[in-house]
Amino acid sequence: MSELLRAVRLAKTWDAGGPAPIRAVVDASLNIESGETIVVTGPSGSGKTTLLSMLGALLRPDRGEMWLDGVDIASAPESVRQATRLKKIGFVFQRGLLLEHFSARQNVALVLYAAGTPKAEALKTSEELLERLGLGGRGDHYPAALSPGERQRVAVARAVALQPRVVFADEPTAHLDSASGAQVVRELWALATGAGAGLVVVTHDPRVTEIADRVLRLEDGYLFSA
């Protein structure tokens, strides 16, 4: 395995308007290897989503470094961070966050369009991914007509469509029944690591740790081996 991403002493503090700022992440360091799955656990409110948002370049840390392909994306200009998010990072959110006025196929194809993929090729790739995820024939359906598990599988297809270097998933089973949740996680793991990407999953679901190469715990703002 080779190192894909290295994060060094990330920290993030929120000003919530109270008497004292909230130290969401105090000190978090980790490296992510190709084909590796890391599961991050911890109590509610421990900063797991904040950590994942920093790792996924959605949120800029207050302190620390984060190296991906030789670039410190923690301090890089926003234009570089935006390009990195599009082409090198995939993200699966808790509720999928699909665009309601676009079909399943279009939701996946949008990231391909954004990267410059021709329309016909983007739609073909989207359909192939949906087929692999058991959604053949559902590509024309809009999110409101899909089950929670189907919506999350569309989100998985969107996250891996550009074959990113690293895929992050924030509580991907939180709103699914046990069977659907297990299926989504297995499919995400197979698609991401099978293509050599690293996979980082934040979860409260103990069953997700079964796919992990490493389990880390975030508590009181500090990240350590579970």
Whether the per-residue pLDDT at 114 is higher than 90: the answer is: yes
C-beta of residue 54 within 8 angstroms of C-beta of residue 66: yes
C-beta of residue 81 within 8 angstroms of C-beta of residue 75: no
Q: What is the pLDDT of residues 130-151, one digit of tens each?
A: 999 999 889 999 999 999 989 9
- Cβ neighbors of 85 (< 8 A, separation 6 or more) are 56, 57, 58, 91
pLDDT at 145: 95
pLDDT band at 177 (very low <50, low <70, confident <90, very high): confident
Please state, in angstroms and rounded to a whole number, the distance separating the CA atoms of residues 145 and 80.
36
Sheet with 89-92: strands ordered across: 71-72, 63-68, 3-14, 22-33, 222-225, 214-219, 37-41, 198-202, 166-170, 89-92
Whether the per-residue pLDDT at 226 is higher than 80: the answer is: no
Retrieve residue 80's tokens: 């570089």
Domains of the chain: 3-99+148-225 (3.40.50.300)
Higher confidence at residue 182 or residue 126?
126
C-beta of residue 92 within 8 angstroms of C-beta of residue 38: no
Other CB atoms within 10 A of residue 65 CB: 15
Which amino acid type is present at position 37?
T
pLDDT at 204: 86
Any bridge partners for residue 41, and if so which? 217
pLDDT at 113: 95
Least confident of 68-77, 112-121, 178-187: 178-187
C-beta of residue 192 within 8 angstroms of C-beta of residue 80: no
Q: Which residue has the tokens 């103990």?
A: 206
C-beta of residue 84 within 8 angstroms of C-beta of residue 73: yes
